[in-house]
Structure 1
């Protein structure tokens, strides 16, 4: 499991977003309040952010707990951005322990994080992974379930899907193949897409911008819980939440019928 957060709004320091809040991501690395599985997130962390005029995000990742990296305190204090995605990691057993496994993952202008796990990994998603282009599989950053899920999302984005559709489709397809928890965060620096699928997700929008996070970073007003089985789309000014439609499998035709049975996924209402 993990805890993660995405932000869009006026220029804000990483310290104010991640370190200063009483129950912010730093505190969630050792004392999350709403985490349903696991008690700590001490297997690494990462933060990605966008600098003015540059659509490609910067990224800082470590394989140590956030509280153990004194350098990040200084980096966070002097780094401001209008768009941030950050996460603290609790590793799925059997996955890569180094910093390459820590979110956020990136591709071009995208930042991605997965809060959850794939049950039965890697066998359970082998058929889905086999549908990916070999070059995408060979470019996986780490041997970890989150990296495979990111590759599936990348494939949907490359095929022209909008961000919320790409996330919801992957949740629907993977949920049809195995059990697990599939809370995703994705941003291109202007929009946030997220899913609530097996763990907590909330959001708050005010004059300081929009925050989408695994759990509230403070006890202030304005936090909204996202229903499980939902996909969220947010900008600095607007938040939309819709249900994820499970993948449907059409019934097999009667014997002798010329119709070929097929499955389909209609992921967002």
Structure 2
């Protein structure tokens, strides 16, 4: 469906994690290895969010064209340094718009978010979940896509619960209604990365100085760890927790 990546570590050019490795996120846009039935390429736009040192909210760049056609990734974003990056390349679900507003990451306050997957019958499913979660106004949705609506629900729940609880709470409510939903969620606040696996692949690479959470490894480093299905990831440099879906305490 999509590919995404989160980076935390020493400040690097914002575009660098996106082009890092022989199988970088940019390469995954046209040659993904693990789409698992969710399309063949990721050519329906991309986005990059980053947190500069001392910033309380992310800056974002998005483009609805394929990432390989945009020289700004290296020529512009290569001139900006940041210690935290969250990026995504998009494969739009058939029938959903291909425009800038539909491209992840979605941002709000300190958060940036990406969704790799799909929610069947998303309009009625997410409307019901939104009502349960007390979303004040569905008209605030940024784009007419399942990912944007899911983000509106999640950011409401983030106002009440810890991120790991919010991710599992929203996922559980969706899966109760749509067991076939694909919910690889990626969330960051500039200091921590949270992610879930539900159907699609995810891998983690951690050292004492940095951590990368990615849909697919961007190189052959033996340190990459594949995340099993229906698991939650909480990652910081030097510290990664991978736990099965379970009820978390708020």
Give yes or no for TM over 0.5.
Answer: yes
Superposition deviation, residue 133 in structure 1: 4.5
Matched ranges for 1:31-110 at <5 A:
31-36=31-36, 37-110=38-111
Segments of 5+ residues of structure 2 without an aligned counterpart are none
CA contact (8 A) 1:125 1:177 kept: no
CA distance, structure 2, for counterparts of residue 126 and residue 16 of structure 1: 38
The residue aligned with 2:202 is 201
1:191-219 per-residue CA deviation (whole Å, 9 max, x = no partner) reads 11100111001100125510001010111
Q: How many residues align?
A: 247
Larger C-alpha radius of gyration, 1 or 2? 1
Q: CA distance change for structure 1 residues 145 and 267 in 2, over 3 Å: closer, same or farther? A: farther
The residue aligned with 1:119 is 120
Superposition deviation, residue 51 in structure 1: 1.2
The residue aligned with 2:168 is 168
Q: CA distance change for structure 1 residues 134 and 125 in 2, over 3 Å: closer, same or farther? A: closer
Is 2:16 the counterpart of 1:16? yes
* Runs of 4+ displaced beyond 2 Å: 123-126, 129-136
Is 2:165 the counterpart of 1:155? no
RMSD (CA atoms):
1.5
Is 2:212 the counterpart of 1:211? yes
Segments of 5+ residues of structure 1 without an aligned counterpart are 246-265
1:5-37 per-residue CA deviation (whole Å, 9 max, x = no partner) reads 001111112332111421111001000112212
CA distance, structure 2, for counterparts of residue 134 and residue 156 of structure 1: 8
CA distance, structure 2, for counterparts of residue 34 and residue 85 of structure 1: 20
TM-score calculated relative to the size of structure 2: 0.94
